[in-house]
Amino acid sequence: MTNEPIEIEIFGADVQCASCVNAPSSKDTYEWLQAAIDRKYPGQVYTINYINIEQPIENERHKDWASRVQDDEFFYPLVLINNEVIGEGYIQLKPIYKELEKLGFHA
């Protein structure tokens, strides 16, 4: 396992993106993802944060990512692991699990 802390960030909004019809909301994606990771990789340490792009953001890096989403560079929800884009719009578990395993997670 890597000694580097694993940080998962989900950028989203209360309203679904226009091209994400029938997909879960950003907040639902955050909750679903956290539950899925905890189930598959019990006891493994990571942080997961939800950043609402429609609310005031103080963290400059978060503000930059939120701007990029708002400027339509990315669909939301946007999922980052250690500041790398892993998924956007309709989120699937396979690429997220693959990245976590690359970082040392094991089932």
Question: Could you report the per-residue pLDDT of 29-68, keeping only the tens digit for each?
Answer: 999 999 999 999 999 999 999 999 999 999 999 999 999 9
Confidence of residue 90 (pLDDT cuts 50, 70, 90): confident
Residue 69 to residue 76: CA distance in whole angstroms: 7
Q: Which two tokens stand for residue 34?
A: 């956290």
What's the full length of the chain, in residues? 107
Please, what is the Cα angle at 10 between 9 and 16, to 5 degrees? 170
Res. 107: pLDDT tops 90: no
Question: Could you report the per-residue pLDDT of 64-83, keeping only the tens digit for each?
Answer: 999 999 999 999 999 999 99
SS3 97: helix
Res. 1: pLDDT tops 50: no
Tokens 């950028």 identify what position? 11
Per-residue confidence (pLDDT) for residue 25, from 0 to 100: 87
